[in-house]
Amino acid sequence: MSVEELSLTKLLRREPTGKVPFWEVWFAMYDFCNRYYGDYGRIVNRMAMAQDLGMDAIRLDVSTRIDTLVHFVPRVSTTDEYVWYGGGSLRSLSQIEERGEVPNWDEAIVKLQGERELVKEAGLACWMVLPWCFHAIATSMGLENFALRLYDDFDFIDRAFEWVESRNRKAIDIAIKEIKPDFVLFDGDCAYKTGLMISPTTFRELTFDKTRETTSHLRKLGIPYAFHSDGKLDDVIPMLIELGFSIVHGCEKAANDLNDLVNRFGDEICLAGNMDVVFLSRATVEEVRRVTEEMLKIGSQKGRFAAACNTSPMDYIPDENYRAMADVIEHF
């Protein structure tokens, strides 16, 4: 099967498809991959895993990102992990501006062009990730500092958001243009389980025009674009539709009624995600199969759904449970 015939790429082109694709947006079951397919860091092993599990696409930039992130997030002192939302040291525009114009992406472009060709030859689609202004700045400042500064100095937040998006536009024009992924995902966490992290009016004022300008660069290249956010998506999806996003991923089960999202938005945008990773870690195989089937029936009512976990599946999920979910998706 060619990339153009994949269910996921058909959905990206807003074409009908007879199968629900499996698109695992975030994947952190590294030990799982290492055990069955080999070192996760090698793209050929990730490709083998995707083909075995029935995934339609893999991410290109696992080991080498086209880096436009701000990265002012402290690490946990005893681990190598970031403390997302818990704190951040970004306080001034000078911290951002001293980063300079753009990184040198030449080496990354060559590497990812080669990986893109391997993926295409394997009949898989591929995507790359760009940071979205809200998520990048809120995590770089910490939510408490972000909220206070938004009240006290709106101009600082506004200019910081624009810095991220201007960097994204350069990444598109310089790197993504050359690599030619099948689509681009904006990493855009912006919601709690109850709704947006800030008021919808301020949210739109800060993000809409900047995002529209960034996505216009992708539209000129004919590259579709997707969006990820945890949390409740009621106020996010209408703006994404207006901006021309093809897919929204997350549809977090603890925060959204999938049937409601399908009924309200399923004609205008593809929904993706909804499988709860905590449930996957605790359920029996029989329960996983039953709940996966239910998710697929609800999500596919209007023919615009991609199956996935709503956030990163990790190695606390039993292998047999993850394989059971993948098997139900493959044969649905």
Q: Return the CATH number at 227.
A: 3.20.20.210
pLDDT, position 107 = 86
What pLDDT does 200 receive?
Answer: 96
Full strand arrangement of the beta sheet holding 57-59: 57-59, 125-131, 183-187, 225-228, 247-250, 270-275, 305-309
- List the domain range (segments joined by +) for residue 176: 3-331
State how far the Cα of 83 lies from the Cα of 198, in Å rounded to an integer.
20
pLDDT score of 65: 47
Do residues 306 and 296 make contact, with C-beta atoms less than 8 angstroms apart? no
Q: So what's the pLDDT on residue 89?
A: 80
Q: Where are the beta strands (DSSP E) in 196-304?
A: 225-228, 247-250, 270-275
Q: What is the pLDDT of residue 83?
A: 60
Residues (pLDDT < 70) of the chain are 62-87
Q: Domain tally for the chain?
A: 1
Residue 315 to residues 31, 33, 64, 280: CA-CA distances in angstroms?
7, 10, 22, 11
Backbone phi and psi for residue 250, each to the nearest 5 degrees, phi listed first: 130, -85
* The pair of three-digit structure tokens given for residue 314, joined into one six-digit string: 């990790």
The pLDDT score that the predictor gives to residue 78 is: 46
pLDDT at 97: 83
Q: What is the pLDDT of residue 49?
A: 98
Cα separation of 47 and 137, whole Å?
33
Which pLDDT tens digit goes with each residue over 280-316? 999 999 999 999 999 999 999 999 999 999 999 999 9
Instruction: Say how far residue 195 (Cα) sits from the centre of its chain.
Output: 19
